Amino acid sequence: MLTGDQEKVRKINKSIILNMLRLHAPISRARVANITGLNRGTVSNIVNVLIEEGLVFEGEQKDPGIGRPAVLLGLRPDGGAVIGVEIGVDFIAVLLTNFVAETIWDTRIQIDPSQSQTSIISQAEQLIEQALFLASEHQLRPLGIGVGVAGLVHVQQGTLIMAPNLHWTNVPLRLMWNQRFHLPIYIENEANLAALGEYYFGIARNVDNFIYLSAGIGLGGGIMMGGKLFHGGHGYAGEIGHIQRDPVGEQCGCGRVGCWETQVGPRAVLNRVKKELQNHPDQFLLDTCSGDLDQLTFEMVVKFALEGNTLCRQAIEAVAVHLGTGIVDIVHVFDPELVLIGGAFIQARDILQPIIEKTIFSNVLQPYADRLRVAFSDRGANDCLFGAVAIVLDDILREMVIS
């Protein structure tokens, strides 16, 4: 019988090997032992257990040129199913993947923010039930559910403490969904999950120090330090959208005045366009929304800007400068290798990126600029969902909680 310490070591070694397969498969046992420093007997024993558990497969044989052909290992796609969920201000999205994060099914529905909390959560639960049914149809055991929400999350408790734009407070989502679905539930801030998703699957793959910025209704930030999400002393780090940039600025959804997200989010672009239209009417834009400026969307403004509408383009360019100056401050605090921009900003990349880069590199202190990169996510609206999948897999690969 294994002692407690031996069991802990065994779990750690299993996690090390699984993570090695995630990063380097297909790979031989000998190569795993060489990279990890574990002895070959330990690697072979653990791999055999992982094969029995249905998480690892033995694939093709590779001829090394000398000696016996090496059997290559990989993670089994059918090792399990993972569900990612994002609850936005005006949408719910759900993603179902297999054990190697290949998409099986996804869906996104629009919701009315004025609906009750109970109603919105109920709709999310119905979508999760659909995902679980499809996992069963594919004969995949569900491993866990990752959930991203735009707000302050107490990660250890799995409680949404405050979501300013949803007007929710103290929602014990983990407890509620543990009881309903009887699965491990992981609750996180949506920008943190998007950052984790990029670290696992995207442009920031294995970049240990980077900042992720995401714009939706608000502005969120995920901070990766030393290959781990930075949560701060109480778990609430990353709410960069609520840094005050203008003490006499516009009212923010959080109740404060002049938050950064009032200057740089999609709402900031729309507000600039609407104000400008009041002073300098643009008949094309007015006709497009039938005179009702509330019908104007960020997507429309980006489209018209790219097509040459001066008013729309100038609004986006002004926001790009505010975004760049704010990023300079963040770079000076965290010294990241990469600033990665996602969410709604991706739609306006062609306009935003040159101005953001010019603003940053004209103002940041030179030592910070030497190895700093600025990039846009290529995952579009699914950043958070893949991050929600990643947080489940990350826990499995790091802690080996599968029983």
> Can you list the alpha helix ranges (DSSP code H) found in 165-260?
173-181, 190-201
Q: Which CATH architecture has domain 203-378?
A: 2-Layer Sandwich (3.30)
pLDDT at 216: 77
Contact status, residue 260 vs residue 240, Cβ threshold 8 Å: yes
Topology of domain 79-199+383-399, CATH: Nucleotidyltransferase; domain 5 (3.30.420)
Q: Taking the alpha carbons of 371, 391, 396, 171 in that order, is the dihedral positive or negative? A: positive
Do domains 79-199+383-399 and 203-378 share one topology? The answer is yes
Using DSSP's 3-state secondary structure scheme, residue 54 falls into coil
Identify the CATH number of the domain defined by range 4-75.
Answer: 1.10.10.10
pLDDT at 379: 78
Single-letter amino acid code for the residue at 250: E
pLDDT at 364: 96
pLDDT at 113: 80
pLDDT at 280: 83
Contact status, residue 356 vs residue 323, Cβ threshold 8 Å: yes
* DSSP per position, 245-314: S-TTSPBPTTS-BSBTHHHHSHHHHHHHHHHHHHHS--HHHHHHTTT-GGG--HHHHHHHHHTT-HHHHH
Contact status, residue 105 vs residue 140, Cβ threshold 8 Å: no
Please give the structure tokens belonging to residue 228: 């781990």
Q: d(Cα 79, Cα 83) in Å, to the nearest integer?
A: 14
pLDDT at 403: 35
Cβ-proximal residues to 137 (8 Å cutoff; 6+ apart), any chain: none
List strands edge to edge, sheet with 56-62: 27-28, 70-75, 56-62
Contact status, residue 77 vs residue 55, Cβ threshold 8 Å: no
Preceding omega of 26 cis (within 30 degrees of 0): yes
Q: Give the residue extent of every domain in the chain.
A: 4-75, 79-199+383-399, 203-378
* N-terminal to C-terminal alpha carbon distance within the chain: 17
- 237 alpha-carbon distance from chain centroid: 15
Using DSSP's 3-state secondary structure scheme, residue 165 falls into coil
Cβ-proximal residues to 108 (8 Å cutoff; 6+ apart), any chain: 91, 92, 93, 94, 381
pLDDT at 338: 97
Q: How many residues would you count in the chain?
A: 403
pLDDT at 282: 83
Q: What is the mean pLDDT of each run of 10 residues along the chain (403 residues)?
A: 68 86 88 91 92 86 60 92 94 95 95 90 97 97 95 91 90 96 95 92 90 86 92 87 90 88 89 87 82 84 93 94 96 96 91 96 95 90 90 76 38
